[in-house]
Every structure is written in C-alpha cells, then in structure tokens.
Amino acid sequence: MIDLSEYREQIESALAYSGGTHTFEDVLQGVAEGRMQAWVNNKSIAITEVIVFPRKKNLHGFLAAGNMREILEMVPSAAEWGRQLGCTGFTLAGRKGWQRVFGKRGWRTAFYVLETTL
C-alpha cells in the first residue's frame, strides 16, 4: 500500500488548483476505500477515479503533481488498468496547460467545464 503522507506536499499543491473539491484527507480516504487510485512514479503522483455514466465508463484523472516525465510514464499502466475494468475512455481535469502536454500525445479537448459560485 502506498503511504500517501510521503506525497502530501505534492497532493496539496495540486489541490490548490482544484477549486476546493477535495482536501488531502478526502483523497487519503478515497484511496483507502478503493474509490480512488494512487499512481506513483518516483517523486510524482496522480490520482484517478472510475466514473460510471449510464452509457460509458471512464477512468478520470483529477490530480497530478511532480515531474511531468514521471507523470506521463504512469499513463499507459493507468490506461491499461482502466481497460481491464471496462473503461472505454480516460479523461483528465486540470489546468489549461495540461492540454498542451497531453494534446501532443493524441488527447483532445472534449468539453469545457464552467463554474460559478452559488
């Protein structure tokens, strides 16, 4: 089992851009309960979750921090894991800059998320 406390600084730095959706403790609990998956590579970490829609099952990455090369190296194994679970798509949420990196690797912008305070 991965000790997420070793990656707390990286996780919290990525969560600073999340719009307040999660805390470190939320991620810790999600991984412990199996609702989220932690992928690590040296000093880098990514967190995914499986999202089941009525007609599609996606592996969704919503947090990544560390070295870009190390993060990119984790994608194939995460994608294969998702395929084995029956996922037919892999989505990412993050800052706009991620599109530059992943767009060069065949990823496309599928939709935009807009937010307002209620």
Q: What does the alpha-carbon distance between residue 102 and residue 13 come to, in Å, rounded to a whole number?
A: 20
- Cα–Cα distance, 19 to 90 (Å, whole number): 21
User: d(Cα 22, Cα 16) in Å, to the nearest integer?
Assistant: 9
> Domains in the chain, ordered, with CATH?
4-103 (3.40.630.30)
The residue type of 91 is T
pTM of the model: 0.92
Name beta bridge partners: 36: 49
The helix (H) or strand (E) run that includes residue 62 is: strand 57-65
How confident is the model over 7-44, as pLDDT tens digits? 999 999 999 988 889 999 999 999 999 999 999 999 99
Q: How high does pLDDT run on average in the chain?
A: 93
Give residue-wise pLDDT tens across range 59-111: 999 999 999 999 999 999 999 999 999 999 999 988 888 888 998 999 998 88
